[in-house]
Structure 1
Amino acid sequence: MPDLALSVLDLVPVRSGQTSADAVAASVALAERADALGLHRYWLAEHHNMPSVASTNPPVLLGVLAGRTRRIRLGSGGVMLPNHAPFVIAEQFAALEAAAPGRIDLGVGRAPGSDPVITALLRSEGHTSDVDRFPEHVRDIEALLGADGAGLPLATGEEYTVRATPAAAGAPVLWLLGSSDYSAELAGRLGLPYVFAHHFSGQGTEHALELYRSRFEASEHLGEPRTFLTANVVAAPTAAAADRLALPQLQHMARLRTGTPLTALDTVEAAEAAVLTSAQQELVDTMRSRWFVGEAAEVAERLTAFAERFGVDEVMISPAAGAFAADPIGRVPAREATLELLAAHLPQRSLAAA
């Protein structure tokens, strides 16, 4: 089986009975395990005001992980740029790069990813119109992170230089993330690495990657297209065990998509006892068919075929295994086991810094 680099996408899930501190502790343990196993990168998503998700502030949590890991690349998957001032994001990730040189990725997305109330709280002016300025803000961040900084023209005709950090020796690798044609085309035009959110729905990946590759223009930082795939994954010693472990997250996503009020994630036992509507069960079945759930060797084979189909050498997995009621409150052993089992079946290859 060809070597395939594995990476991790983490939302810092919160299960029933956990505090936010417990959930963060579990993700720190997961990141430490990914680092020890030789996985390539560990990214945190940005979500707000959700009872099951504690990854509200990727830069802060990445600072914690930078101090607890040794070699793995750390990044955002992603920062929802319309929610934030570009200068603030540039400063935060420049500081992370200074703390963990050569290990930081800055993945940015165009969607606000929140409801209007949250958007108003995140941006003092309460506007969502910055979505339209996404390309401009991406360019601003690129300039701000560079050693020369960005030049702002003043009314006096003078230029005011702004830098995200006073003496940059390096910069985070900037990635564009998306689930539509827009981001694929923009990433190609700007000559930036790109990731399509395959784990969202499992559809549209082939078209998005073809569009990105066909529109790619070499840039100062990247000479050819660079991309990888994302996938929801549960690996276990047996297929039956994996199916049980996948239930809490599958049911939670079905409730989300049917507008059911959300809670923290169920334990495996609670998920097995849950009664779903027919619409929710249909969603569970559809998502289950698109996820990579099963015995470890079989999942490893499917991930390799998945990567070969789309011509990539890296897959970023969202380890979607749930927890049992008796599991340690500050760990999710089945998430850690998914990484361990796949690393055992997929010898980790060394990739370039990006």
Structure 2
Amino acid sequence: MTTDLPSLSVLDLVPVRTDQTTGEALAATRSLARVADELGYRRYWLAEHHNMPAVAATNPPLLIAMVAAATSRIRVGSGGVMLPNHAPLVVAEQFALLEAAHPGRIDLGIGRAPGTDQLTRYALRQGAGDDGVSLFPRYVEDVMTLMSAEGASMSVGGRAHPLHATPHAVSVPPVWLLGSSDYSARLAAERGLPYVFAHHFAGQGTAEALDLYRSSYRPSDRHPEPQTFLTVNVTAAATQEEAERVALPQLLSMLALRTGQPLTPQRLVEEAEAVDVPAEHAGLVRAMASRWVIGDATSARARIADLAAEYGVDEVMVHPVAGALAGTAADTSPAREETLRLLVK
């Protein structure tokens, strides 16, 4: 068993519980980010999902601005911006401004998936079809070029017109490609970019994707070596039994997502315990739980260290998935904060 703990970071989907408003969920995220900052976590990334009752992370740039302003040291970024949903210039402008406001603390993680259902995707794209997906490699290049100090140049009517994301960029946030298949692994390796496989979501194919990325990596000026880390769902508590208990709300949310059930705000622990999981779904719940890190502080730290060694990474991004007990203050998430604290004790 490996004992050396890698550097730790945080992924936050800004969960919304049955006892919370959106504003209270955002307050809980600010508090969680401050805890991560104080404990020495390396990064705090925020996801992009749309039209989901249990997730308030609809707009990573706004959330990054909020979290960066509430913290002082930790890197803050997107995990990630779903680029096919947005015009590259808009993303470049947003992250150029974030980098200008918080130099050296911003990460731009980019994904190719829509992060939502087809109807919401249609609304986000204003009915523009799948061009954003098919043009993803070009969009990535456009964002990087527009954020650079040199910017871009567009030829219109025989004249060159300069185009910059911001008037005077003196630093540029690093761009990471995110994925849950080998597509982004290949693209990141080809372009010499950092890459992260969504192990916390996919659970399978991680080793293959990371091996493909590393074996085919082409060094770039900014990134001469491949750079990656692992993402994992984590719940740590005082005992194994308590960790399993507070992980149940998120397990049921993921069960609903994977089996096509109606999505709801995240249940409180007591509400989750009252749910009868159909026998045909019990195996899926057990399989998901086996891929997560759920345990007391000692076992959770050991499991994270083992995963880092297994996949050859020196950083693990934990998605703290502990639910809340009835009576918890609505603007807090103490079990998620406790997970972060126990991992670094």
Which segments of structure 1 move beyond 4 Å, counting only runs of 4 or more? none
CA–CA distance in structure 1, aligned partners of residues 270 and 126 of structure 2: 43
- 1:92 to 2:94 alignment: yes
1:348 maps to what in 2?
none
Deviation track 1:124-176 (CA, whole Å, cap 9, x = no partner) reads 3432221010000101111011000012222x332221111100010111000
Letter in 2 for 1:159: A
Letter in 2 for 1:85: A
1:14 maps to what in 2?
16
Counterpart of 1:18 in 2: which secondary structure? coil
2:106 maps to what in 1?
104
CA–CA distance in structure 2, aligned partners of residues 136 and 126 of structure 1: 17
State whether residues 93 and 165 of structure 2, in contact with CA within 8 Å, keep that contact through their aligned partners in structure 1. yes
Counterpart of 2:260 in 1: which secondary structure? coil
Counterpart of 1:60 in 2: which secondary structure? helix
2:344 maps to what in 1?
343
1:123 maps to what in 2?
125
CA–CA distance in structure 2, aligned partners of residues 3 and 328 of structure 1: 32
State whether residues 180 and 202 of structure 2, in contact with CA within 8 Å, keep that contact through their aligned partners in structure 1. no
CA apart distance, 1:114: 2.1
1:347 maps to what in 2?
none
CA apart distance, 1:319: 0.2
2:79 pairs, out of 77, 80, 95, with 77
CA–CA distance in structure 2, aligned partners of residues 328 and 190 of structure 1: 46
2:54 maps to what in 1?
52
CA–CA distance in structure 2, aligned partners of residues 113 and 251 of structure 1: 19
Deviation track 1:67-93 (CA, whole Å, cap 9, x = no partner) reads 100000000000100000000000001
State whether residues 254 and 281 of structure 1, in contact with CA within 8 Å, keep that contact through their aligned partners in structure 2. no
2:222 maps to what in 1?
221
State whether residues 89 and 143 of structure 2, in contact with CA within 8 Å, keep that contact through their aligned partners in structure 1. yes
Letter in 1 for 2:134: D
Counterpart of 1:300 in 2: which secondary structure? helix
CA–CA distance in structure 2, aligned partners of residues 159 and 125 of structure 1: 31
State whether residues 112 and 128 of structure 1, in contact with CA within 8 Å, keep that contact through their aligned partners in structure 2. no
CA–CA distance in structure 1, aligned partners of residues 185 and 67 of structure 2: 29
**Farther-moved stretch of structure 1 (273-282 vs 246-255):** 273-282
**Farther-moved stretch of structure 1 (103-112 vs 274-283):** 274-283
Counterpart of 2:78 in 1: which secondary structure? strand
CA–CA distance in structure 1, aligned partners of residues 202 and 69 of structure 2: 34
CA–CA distance in structure 1, aligned partners of residues 119 and 5 of structure 2: 45
CA–CA distance in structure 1, aligned partners of residues 86 and 38 of structure 2: 33
State whether residues 119 and 126 of structure 1, in contact with CA within 8 Å, keep that contact through their aligned partners in structure 2. no
CA apart distance, 1:220: 2.0
CA–CA distance in structure 1, aligned partners of residues 58 and 141 of structure 2: 25
TM-score by length of 1: 0.95
CA–CA distance in structure 2, aligned partners of residues 223 and 67 of structure 1: 31
1:132 pairs, out of 114, 131, 134, with 134
CA apart distance, 1:310: 1.2
State whether residues 246 and 321 of structure 1, in contact with CA within 8 Å, keep that contact through their aligned partners in structure 2. yes
What value does the CA root-mean-square deviation take over the aligned residues? 1.0
- % identical aligned pairs: 55
- 1:34 to 2:11 alignment: no
2:208 maps to what in 1?
207
2:158 maps to what in 1?
157
How many pairs does the alignment contain? 343
Gap runs ≥5 in structure 2: none
Counterpart of 1:168 in 2: which secondary structure? coil
CA–CA distance in structure 2, aligned partners of residues 196 and 123 of structure 1: 25
CA–CA distance in structure 2, aligned partners of residues 126 and 120 of structure 1: 7
State whether residues 189 and 217 of structure 1, in contact with CA within 8 Å, keep that contact through their aligned partners in structure 2. yes
1:351 maps to what in 2?
none
Deviation track 1:206-242 (CA, whole Å, cap 9, x = no partner) reads 1000100111111121101000000000011110010
Q: 1:126 to 1:279 in 2, by over 3 A?
A: farther
**Farther-moved stretch of structure 1 (78-87 vs 119-128):** 119-128
CA–CA distance in structure 2, aligned partners of residues 161 and 2 of structure 1: 50
State whether residues 234 and 292 of structure 2, in contact with CA within 8 Å, keep that contact through their aligned partners in structure 1. yes
Counterpart of 1:39 in 2: which secondary structure? coil
Q: 1:191 to 1:139 in 2, by over 3 A?
A: same
CA–CA distance in structure 2, aligned partners of residues 263 and 112 of structure 1: 20
State whether residues 228 and 312 of structure 1, in contact with CA within 8 Å, keep that contact through their aligned partners in structure 2. yes
CA–CA distance in structure 2, aligned partners of residues 111 and 38 of structure 1: 31
CA–CA distance in structure 2, aligned partners of residues 106 and 172 of structure 1: 6
State whether residues 5 and 304 of structure 2, in contact with CA within 8 Å, keep that contact through their aligned partners in structure 1. no
CA apart distance, 1:2: 2.2
1:280 maps to what in 2?
281
CA–CA distance in structure 1, aligned partners of residues 16 and 127 of structure 2: 31
State whether residues 234 and 293 of structure 1, in contact with CA within 8 Å, keep that contact through their aligned partners in structure 2. yes
Letter in 1 for 2:210: L
